[in-house]
Structure 1
């Protein structure tokens, strides 16, 4: 093997450490998906603009698509020793140039969704304060307050963030399950109807829209591999956490959306969802109040905010670790690849990410964008395109990798067949996203077109600015792993 410069990863003090188990990692990535927020926001969109009472099947289909993706992702995980998530997989399978392009897409997509959630959270807290008769305070004040807390937690060791996220996630899942049980026990105005799963109901023209909004609700689930250096036995922990995250999110979404249909009644659910979209009602909170009581409604309104906080903290940790991983291979300034001597965290990368988010929030305020419709809508659109693009490239990389290394193909179903099916499914998902993109952003065709082009532009920039030496160092390191590593049985 040719001699290459020493990898920064080998330098003392540049590797993160931790003892995160399967549950901790799964909780962090599920928190990034913000399940309670998705049920309150994406579900009414899927019902009101999609296939109505058949919307739960849209979430079920999205879960299956992401499960197909996870099969190849998990099969390749034992051979990927870099904690760079998607860009490490793409580098290993396709090459350093597309790998670096994928890294740039990740930075743009996750930074965008994080900034968008600051807008959403600022609006949500502002709305809550007004609801209880408080003073009129600009949304940016609450966004900056959240940003400071997130920055402090991100600066510390990952164990602290995992505990905060775990508590927030358990609370939001519990409160939604209480509402689910209450609705199912009551039966709703039309009884415990299974009409949602009738092919004549869900196989309508709007099913693609339902799948689209379901997919946007999964953003963040795929980030398990970014915590590789901080995981306990990562070759086992990362695959388990990935499957656990997809399973919990998929079941929770499908069940909870079905419950919303029961609560309103299949015949009336579209009208109720559209009233939510036009701002006269809140489908989720009204359901909680009607079936579980006013206390549960008030508690859920508060937990919607903690859900957003958990979400933005998760994405902050993800971006900080992407920057850290890129700094370790020399693609970003080396200072971002240093570990805090006490907290053993990517503290400097975390600080830079906090600064980036603060600048974006300031720009949004100066421009005068609406925090919910424009800040969150626009940034969620960018992140959705970026997520689907990264997943598609990663799945292609999996198929290429195992095609080049037939000795590692212990099970052709998990290494070639199902990943190939995932490529087809993700291609269809990309078409759905782009064909209905104005629904995601809420903006004009012109604005939506510009936003949709940002992730592909980031991919091109990453390919063009890829440093050959840094990319080659990673490729050779990964090649040595393939030669030395024995597949897990």
Structure 2
């Protein structure tokens, strides 16, 4: 059902407003893999993971993360076949654990996707500014470029999803292509110190700060679960969504493990950590220059920028659809559920998300925060830990839902795989929390990491949003039962 702009507000008796479309497996995979932004990860997370994480062993963490995500996906995909709703995490949590937990998860998901989007806005603003200045152009502050990107993303997000998918598809092919060409060039030339599998040795995996490294590795997977968010716009969603989910996880895992290994080999295990620490923002560009020449250097520099643009565009689309679903649930203003009569897009939600991103960028600029060391790193940490908690809650919800309903009796799909995925997620969360002070730079006078003010603020934000959602649901249940009942329409909770 498509609701035209200017239609009457939703009431308790009005059917939820829905999007429509015919996206296939390839289009949806493009959307979610673009959200991971291959060159944002290769040019940003990989150098930072090597420099401040577990060094040479960082590529192995992509493999570990991929295995955990695949185990999680088994139960996640099982839910997509029985829950015909586009809300993904918060919908499934609602069906499995009840409305209050579903709403708590919804707010945590909104926080996660918003913070990762703003984090990349800050990073791309920095890269554009440095590139323009390096070419002899004016030295314009990072936040000016970031706000310009926010505006362009807002225009595309306002229009039909097919336009975004086409833009993302083209950028994704170019990103993956240049990264693979660079990695193959390293492989065929033998790297700086020869080729080896030292990156996957146990001693290297646990070296340095694996908690920080694991944070950057898992961050590369944020967005793959958005396959379910696009359910209403998918062709044959019962088949398209599961296929797109598995394809996205496998593609992300193989690509990042191979390319990050190639970056280590390009510099050599004995030199790569020092090189990454000296210039994390320029490590991959320097690698391309060394193995692909000046043309490759220019190409990868440009594509890192366009890749980050693709990332924020994809997350913009995801957040606007979360807001639409929450509006249909009656917990956000009804206007956020408006669907444009021509573009068939959640245009009001898109405008609100554009305003949110712009306001946060302006705030960080006023505070004088460093766009990479603070804005990108801190917000990426919040988003990564948030996504792990979201997946953990969803895994529990999957198990609870199928144990209660008996709609799917396959033990591997509904119990074993979700439990194994949950164990992996909780282990990852513990490792990241322990290493969180190092991520945000909380150290005592002697240089030892401590749970300081910044750490507690970041962790407090992660806790505050779902707590607010849970309390809102409890309040609605007591004071506005009609609205509370509407949560079922978007979140579930049978």
> TM-score w.r.t. structure 1 length?
0.92
d(CA) in 2 for partners of 1:89, 1:15: 18
Quick check: 1:456 aligned with 2:463?
yes
Deviation at 1:345, TM superposition (A): 0.6
Q: Which residue of 1 aligns with 2:4?
A: none
Q: Alignment partner of 1:192: what SS? A: coil
Between Structure 1 and Structure 2, how many residues are aligned?
Answer: 471
Q: Tell me the residue number matched to 2:126.
A: 123
Structure 1: tracts of 5 or more residues without a match:
483-489
Give the conservation status (yes or no) of the 8 Å contact 1:117–1:308: yes
Following superposition, the deviation at residue 195 of structure 1 comes to: 2.3
Aligned to 1:364: 364
Structure 1, residues 159-191: CA drift from partner, whole Å, max 9, x if none? 000011111111110000110111101001322
Deviation at 1:300, TM superposition (A): 0.4
Residue of structure 1 equivalent to 2:114: 111
Match of 1:274 in 2: 277
Q: 1:169 to 1:7 in 2, by over 3 A?
A: farther
Query: Residue 53 of structure 2 aligns to a residue in which SS?
Result: helix
User: What is the rounded CA distance, in whole Å, between the counterparts of 1:346 and 1:412 in structure 2?
Assistant: 38
Unaligned residue ranges in structure 2 (runs of 5+): 1-9, 444-451
Q: Please, what TM-score do these two structures have when normalized by structure 2?
A: 0.91
Return the alpha-carbon distance in structure 1 between the equivalents of residues 211 and 379 of structure 2. 21
Relative to structure 1, the CA distance from residue 211 to residue 380 in structure 2 (aligned partners, 3 Å threshold; closer, same or farther) is closer
On the 8 A contact 1:373/1:442 being kept in 2, the answer is no
Q: For residue 267 of structure 1, report the CA deviation from its aligned partner.
A: 2.7
The 5-angstrom pairing of residues 228-307 of structure 1 reads 228-277=231-280, 282-307=282-307
Alignment pair present for 1:465 and 2:472: yes
C-alpha contact (below 8 Å) 2:211/2:433 kept by paired residues: no
Which SS does the other structure have where 1:408 is aligned? Answer: coil
Aligned to 2:398: 398
Q: Tell me the equivalent position of 1:321.
A: 321
Query: Does structure 1 conserve the Cα–Cα contact (< 8 Å) formed by 2:55 and 2:208?
Result: no
CA distance 1:182–1:335, shift in 2 (3 Å): same
1:273/1:458 CA distance change after superposition, 3 Å: same
Alignment match, 2:46: 43
Q: CA RMSD in A?
A: 2.0
Q: For residues 9 and 276 of structure 1, do their structure 2 counterparts lie closer, same or farther at Cα, with a shift above 3 Å needed?
A: farther
Deviation of 1:477 after TM superposition, in Å, equals: 8.1
Residue 146 of structure 1 pairs with residue 149 of structure 2: yes
Matched, 1:10 2:15: yes
CA distance in 1, matches of 2:162, 2:318: 14
Partner of 2:137: 134
1:180-209 Cα deviation digits (max 9, x unpaired)? 111101001322222223344435464444
Counterpart of 1:332?
332
CA shift for structure 1 position 406: 2.4
Matches within 5 A, 1:201-240: 201-204=204-207, 206-240=209-243
Which residue in 2 is equivalent to 1:486? none
Distance, in Å, in 2 between the alignment partners of 1:200 and 1:193 is 15
* 8 Å CA contact 2:56, 2:269 repeated in 1: yes
Determine helix, strand or coil for the equivalent of 1:293: helix
Secondary structure (helix, strand or coil) at the match of 1:300 reads helix
1:141 to 1:273, Cα distance in 2 relative to 1, 3 A: closer
* Residues 337, 346 of structure 1: 8 Å contact kept: yes
